[in-house]
């Protein structure tokens, strides 16, 4: 189980961690007064309200990886934080499932960011594929995330508390919208389009 420290004034982030069976709430910290000796956890989540006033380098020097939840949609700010050594930055509007995925990625040694900031971080990378003619629904995105984790239809159904038949229906719709012939191709397409984070 991943121990998560939370630096936030609101209780919503703490509640999201406490309600997740794969994460353990390790306590709250004051993000404006962090001491390395007090950081008993695996990942530190910090809710950033004013991103322009932060010392990203100081956060990057902490002994555990930091995941920023930024209120600002400014991709340049995300890029600035990541270039300073912060390991993760996502939107403050991220769903509990997205937060869980980001925490697991950081705990595995990966870097997490938003698709919009990739053009700043990788200026020579090819542009994202065109928008889908028919966007995926919120439930289809949830199913797609679980497909990317390699879960079977049965496990997806259990995780989302829906029937296996409903899962198959969602997968068929995902394949059609992405123009994919199988689950592996759908996940590959989704990664290229920035629809899932690994």
Q: CA-to-CA distance for 91 and 70, rounded, in angstroms?
A: 5
The pLDDT assigned to 131 comes to 64
Give the pLDDT confidence of 158-170 residue by residue, as tens digits. Answer: 999 999 999 999 9
Question: Can you give the residue range of the structural domain that contains 184?
Answer: 138-192
Instruction: State pTM to two decimals.
Output: 0.60
Start-to-end Cα distance in the chain? 18
Query: Do residue 168 and residue 96 come from a single domain?
Result: no
Cβ proximity of 88 and 102 under 8 Å:
yes
Number of domains in the chain: 2
Query: Do residue 80 and residue 159 come from a single domain?
Result: no
Residue 172 falls inside a structural domain: yes
Give the pLDDT confidence of 94-116 residue by residue, as tens digits. Answer: 888 888 888 988 888 888 887 66
The pLDDT assigned to 160 comes to 93
| Residue 119 confidence (pLDDT) above 90 | no
Question: Pick from 92, 121, 150: which residue ends a domain?
Answer: 121
Query: Do residue 38 and residue 63 come from a single domain?
Result: yes
Question: Which residues contact residue 41 at a Cβ distance below 8 angstroms, ignoring those fewer than 6 apart?
Answer: 3, 4, 5, 26, 27, 64
Residue 132 falls inside a structural domain: no
Residue 148 falls inside a structural domain: yes
Query: Do residue 149 and residue 100 come from a single domain?
Result: no
Query: Do residue 113 and residue 29 come from a single domain?
Result: yes
For the beta sheet containing 66-70, the strands, ordered from the edge strand earlier in sequence to the opposite edge, are 23-28, 2-7, 43-48, 66-70, 88-91
- What is the rounded average pLDDT for all residues in the chain? 81
Give the pLDDT confidence of 4-31 residue by residue, as tens digits. Answer: 989 887 788 888 899 988 899 998 887 7
Query: Do residue 82 and residue 112 come from a single domain?
Result: yes
Q: CA-to-CA distance for 102 and 88, rounded, in angstroms?
A: 8
CATH code of the domain covering residue 115: 3.40.50.2300
Residue 197 falls inside a structural domain: no
Retrieve residue 165's tokens: 């038949």
Query: Do residue 105 and residue 154 come from a single domain?
Result: no
The pLDDT assigned to 156 comes to 93
Query: Do residue 59 and residue 85 come from a single domain?
Result: yes
């Amino acid at each position: 189980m991943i121990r998560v420290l939370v630096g936030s004034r609101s209780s919503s982030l703490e509640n999201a961690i406490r309600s997740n069976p794969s994460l353990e709430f390790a306590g709250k910290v004051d993000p404006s007064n962090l001491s390395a000796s007090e950081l008993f956890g695996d990942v530190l989540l910090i809710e950033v309200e004013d991103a322009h006033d932060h010392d990203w380098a100081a956060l990057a020097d902490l002994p555990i990886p930091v995941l920023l939840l930024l209120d600002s949609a400014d991709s340049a700010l995300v890029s600035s934080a990541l270039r300073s050594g912060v390991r993760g930055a996502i939107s403050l509007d991220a769903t509990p499932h997205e937060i869980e995925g980001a925490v697991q990625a950081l705990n595995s040694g990966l870097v997490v960011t938003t698709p919009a900031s990739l053009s700043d971080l990788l200026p020579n990378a090819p542009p994202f594929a065109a928008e889908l003619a028919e966007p995926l629904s919120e439930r289809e995105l949830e199913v797609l995330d679980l497909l990317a984790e390699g879960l079977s239809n049965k496990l997806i159904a259990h995780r989302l508390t829906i029937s296996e038949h409903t899962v198959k229906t969602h997968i068929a719709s995902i394949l059609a919208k992405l123009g994919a012939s199988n689950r592996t191709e759908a996940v590959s397409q989704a990664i290229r389009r920035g629809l899932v984070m690994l």
